[in-house]
Structure 1
Amino acid sequence: MLAVRTIAAETLEYADVPQPELVPGSALVRIEHVTLCGTDLHIWEDDYTSELPLIQGHELAGTVIDVAPDVDRVAIGDRVAIDPLISCGECRACRAGRGNVCPQLTVFGCYSDGGLVEVLRVKAPKLHRIPTGVPTDLGAIAEPTAIALQAVARGRATAEDTAVVLGVGPIGLLATLALHDLGARVVAADTDADRLELAREFGADDTILVTADEVFPGAAGAAALHRLSGDDGPSLVIEATGVPASLENGLRVVAAGGRVVQVGISTRPTGFPLNLLAFKEVDLLGSRNSTGLIPDALQLIGRHPDRVRNLITHRFPAEQLDRAFHTMRDRSQRVGKILIDMPAGAAA
């Protein structure tokens, strides 16, 4: 079968490898669609903690083609999305039901071989049926949707909240959609006007265009926040850029007693004044991966398939994966989610 390996920086190898064999508790999935995220780009550039060579691909969907006799969770022919997280099951985090932050966590396509193959062997608990009416290709977006849902859950969001989403790339847009789906009032903020227009399609009630000319949120932004939250300010902020200054912005505008969730990832140090946390008694929460939220993600996608499809800006066959990665880092065009069709999925 075909496997696409990243063997060195910006270097792919198309290899013919043996198809995996069933083992107890597993199923074989013919991978049809893979979507790419920023982590994939960093791995391809060899600018990540992953070790090369590696078969990338952690946002996956396909069809079950064989099932071990002891598996009744899925059947041959089921369309499935795959949870790529594999935790140890024994550490303190795992015992507390938080395997998403397991110190020994591995992830298909990031730290172990992933889904840029024709057939992948997967343990049955990691397989989730795609609901009727949800196209298989949108099932590949369940994993980033679950990441957005994790951030919303960490923020204890309810319909009573006024929430600000800082940064509306794919995770921020999906968080906006999830908050809107809950009934919360949502303000989306970004430096890109086109992204903000899309955020409105994803349910944002108002938007803030972040500029270098004004201290955030600026006059128009302050007016928008006041319209939706009054004098109190927003009760929830989700920071989805990974930019330290954006986190400080969130801490400044959040209401007293509010919550700020950091889902954007960066190695850059922060430098905000500590009284931003203490004086308002803000809950500052990290958010990583998701705690088994793929089924909830599929349900959210099923309620809003047209909106979620708007995330996909480019589509390539696996044979053009190199072109897909070059497109991802092309700053001259708008790039949302890039969908890769594996050979079985190209005609689906």
Structure 2
Amino acid sequence: MKARVLKEVGNLEYCDYPMPKLNSGEVLFKVKACGICGSDIPRVFVNGTYHFPTIPGHEFSGIVVDAADEENKKLIGMRATVFPLIPCKTCENCNNGRFEMCKSYDYLGSRSDGAFAEYVRVPVWNLVPIPDNLSYEVAAMTEPCAVGLHALRQAQIEIGDVVVIYGPGTIGMLIAQWARAWGAKVLLVGTDLNNWDFIESLGFTEYCNSSHEDPIEWVKKMTNGVGADIAIEAVGVQVTACNCLESVASGGKVIFVGNPHGDFTFPQNTYWQILRKQLTIHGTWNSSYSDTHKSDWNLVVDALASGKINAEKLITHKFDLETMDKGLEIMRDNTEFFAKIMVVNKD
């Protein structure tokens, strides 16, 4: 099969690669579409994966074409997306159903071969069926959609809440759509790097360009001096983390979503905000997954299929395995506006 194989940092080679060998409980999955995650950029160009060679790619959808066990042959032909985290199912977090916090997990696309390939092996447990009206490209957005939903569920958002989101990138805009669907007022804070016309096309008109305006004062102005009920940090830098603490209301909630780009140091006056406003701070990691209808993943598939969440609008670029270098370069170098860059396999 053809695949993009990370052989060393900076060398994501397009080459022939052996077909996956299935173990019991696994299926052979034909990849139809796979998103390039922001985390894939440092993974490919800076940090590498946990071993070489590895096939990256963890936001994907496709179809089951074979199964290791006879009892799972009935799954052949199933259209699905895939929860990429493979839990140990023995640690205390797994025993409590908190698989996203497993202490000894495997992960497709970083610890095991992922979906920048024509085929990938997938545990049956990780398959999430998708309806026929959901395209493979949109279904491949399930993982980032679930990450956004999981973040808001940490905040226990309520109808009428004011939610300010620092960082209107792909995850930030998915969080914004979830917050709006929940009945919240959404405020967005970004920089000159953000495409404000694109954000308006998604129906969001209350935003602050922090390159030209003080975002803390802007949030206070938009909330009659009170501050936001919920502040979301979706960038992973110190300044936006501090701004969240400064612009949230007393008794409010701050959700840290963005992967940190370095060490954070809070000024003393900013730290005082946590104490004096009696803030609740939540971390969020990955997304919840189970076979119940309330799992993040099942809720996302339903929302995508019904149109409640418009993920298709966020897909700004499409490449195939052979040409995806261009997509990686756009993301790494910020040479043009992008939201989600998708790798779509040719039939």
Task: Normalising by structure 1, report the TM-score.
Answer: 0.89
The 1-side partners of 2:343 and 2:308 are apart by 18
1:181: how far off? 1.2
The 1-side partners of 2:319 and 2:151 are apart by 30
Matched, 1:234 2:237: no
**Cα RMSD for the two superposed structures:** 2.2
Name the residue aligned to 2:281.
Answer: 284
Q: Specify which of 261, 282, 307 is matched with residue 304 of structure 1.
A: 307
The 2-side partners of 1:48 and 1:270 are apart by 23
1:305: how far off? 7.6
The 2-side partners of 1:141 and 1:321 are apart by 17
Q: Specify which of 323, 330, 334 is matched with residue 333 of structure 2.
A: 330
Name the residue aligned to 1:80.
Answer: 80
| Uncovered stretches (5+) of structure 1, i.e. residues with no partner | none
1:203: how far off? 4.6
More displaced stretch, 105-114 vs 321-330: 321-330
| 1:1-348 correspondence to structure 2 within 5 Å | 1-48=1-48, 50-67=50-67, 68-71=69-72, 75-192=75-192, 194-204=194-204, 206-211=206-211, 214-219=213-218, 221-223=219-221, 225-226=222-223, 230-272=224-266, 273=268, 274-292=271-289, 293-304=296-307, 307-344=310-347
Change in CA separation of 1:328 and 1:305 when aligned onto 2, cut-off 3 Å:
farther
1:161: how far off? 1.3
Q: Could you tell me whether the CA contact under 8 Å between 1:242 and 1:264 is conserved in 2?
A: yes
Name the residue aligned to 2:293.
Answer: none
The 2-side partners of 1:326 and 1:288 are apart by 27
More displaced stretch, 19-28 vs 54-63: 19-28
The 1-side partners of 2:131 and 2:346 are apart by 23
The 2-side partners of 1:235 and 1:245 are apart by 19
1:177: how far off? 0.7
Cα deviations by residue, 1:96-154 (Å, 9 ceiling, x for unpaired): 32221223233211222111222222111111111232111111111111111111111
| SS of equivalent residue, structure 2 residue 250 | coil
Q: Could you tell me whether the CA contact under 8 Å between 2:79 and 2:129 is conserved in 1?
A: yes
1:93: how far off? 2.5
The share of aligned pairs that are identical, in percent, is 29
The 2-side partners of 1:38 and 1:21 are apart by 29
Q: Could you tell me whether the CA contact under 8 Å between 1:168 and 1:196 is conserved in 2?
A: no
The 1-side partners of 2:163 and 2:215 are apart by 16
Change in CA separation of 1:38 and 1:194 when aligned onto 2, cut-off 3 Å:
closer
| SS of equivalent residue, structure 1 residue 319 | coil
The 2-side partners of 1:204 and 1:71 are apart by 45
Task: Normalising by structure 2, report the TM-score.
Answer: 0.90
1:294: how far off? 2.0
Q: What is the total number of aligned residue pairs between the two structures?
A: 337
Q: Could you tell me whether the CA contact under 8 Å between 2:8 and 2:48 is conserved in 1?
A: no
Q: Could you tell me whether the CA contact under 8 Å between 2:81 and 2:140 is conserved in 1?
A: yes
The 1-side partners of 2:245 and 2:309 are apart by 33
Q: Could you tell me whether the CA contact under 8 Å between 1:64 and 1:79 is conserved in 2?
A: yes
The 1-side partners of 2:275 and 2:309 are apart by 42
The 1-side partners of 2:277 and 2:209 are apart by 26
Change in CA separation of 1:181 and 1:303 when aligned onto 2, cut-off 3 Å:
farther
The 2-side partners of 1:19 and 1:49 are apart by 20
Q: Could you tell me whether the CA contact under 8 Å between 1:168 and 1:195 is conserved in 2?
A: no
